[in-house]
Amino acid sequence: MKLRVGAALFGLGVLLLVFAAGLPFYVAPAVSKLPYDLEPTTSIAEAKDAKFLKITASGSSVSIEVPQGNLRSSVEVIPQPDDTKNRLPKELKGDAVIWDVFQTVKRVDTEEVVSQYSTEFALYRISGAAAPWKDQWLNESGANETPVGNVSYSGQLYKFPFGTGKRDYQVFDRDLKRALPAKFTGTEKIKGIETYRFEQRIENEVLATPEASIQTLVGKFAPGATSGQIVYSNTRTVWVDPVTGSYINVREQQHKELRPNTGTPTVLLDADFNYTDETVTRSADTAKDNRFKIGLISLWGPIAAGVLGLLALIAGVWLVTRRNDGGAARHRAEPAPVAPAAADSTATRVDQEPVRDTDTVEQPRPQPVGGPLTDEIPPASTNWKSDDPTVPTQRPAPGEVEQR
Q: Which pLDDT band, with edges at 50, 70 and 90, does 331 fall under?
A: low
- The predicted pLDDT at position 239 comes to 98
- The predicted pLDDT at position 57 comes to 77
Segments of 81-226 assigned E as strands: 96-107, 113-124, 137-139, 169-173, 178-190, 193-206
Contact 77, 40 (CB under 8 A): yes
Q: Which pLDDT band, with edges at 50, 70 and 90, does 311 fall under?
A: low
Alpha helices, DSSP H, located in 159-276? 211-221
Evaluate the CA torsion angle 204, 208, 214, 217 in order and state its sign: negative
Which residues, in sequence order, are CB contacts of 254 under 8 Å at separation 6+? 232, 233, 234, 269, 270, 271, 272, 273
Predicted TM-score (pTM) of this structure = 0.70
Which residues, in sequence order, are CB contacts of 178 under 8 Å at separation 6+? 154, 172
Interval 45-102: pLDDT, tens: 999 999 999 988 777 788 899 999 999 999 999 999 999 999 999 999 999 999 999 9
What integer is the mean pLDDT of 107-125?
95
Query: 96: which strand partners?
Result: 124
Residue 382 reports pLDDT greater than 50: no
Interval 202-227: pLDDT, tens: 999 999 999 999 999 999 999 989 99
Number of residues in the chain: 404
| CA–CA distance, 74 with 55 (Å, rounded to integer) | 20
| CA–CA distance, 317 with 328 (Å, rounded to integer) | 17
| CA–CA distance, 302 with 296 (Å, rounded to integer) | 8
Across 291-300, 343-352, 357-366, 392-401, the highest mean pLDDT is recorded for: 291-300
Q: Which pLDDT band, with edges at 50, 70 and 90, does 20 fall under?
A: low
Lowest-pLDDT choice from 46-60, 297-311, 322-336, 389-403: 389-403
- The predicted pLDDT at position 376 comes to 44
- The predicted pLDDT at position 74 comes to 97
| CA–CA distance, 64 with 62 (Å, rounded to integer) | 7
| CA–CA distance, 393 with 377 (Å, rounded to integer) | 17
What integer is the mean pLDDT of 307-334?
58
| CA–CA distance, 36 with 81 (Å, rounded to integer) | 5
Interval 170-193: pLDDT, tens: 999 999 999 999 999 999 999 999
Residue 27 gets which letter from DSSP?
A: I
What integer is the mean pLDDT of 259-288?
96
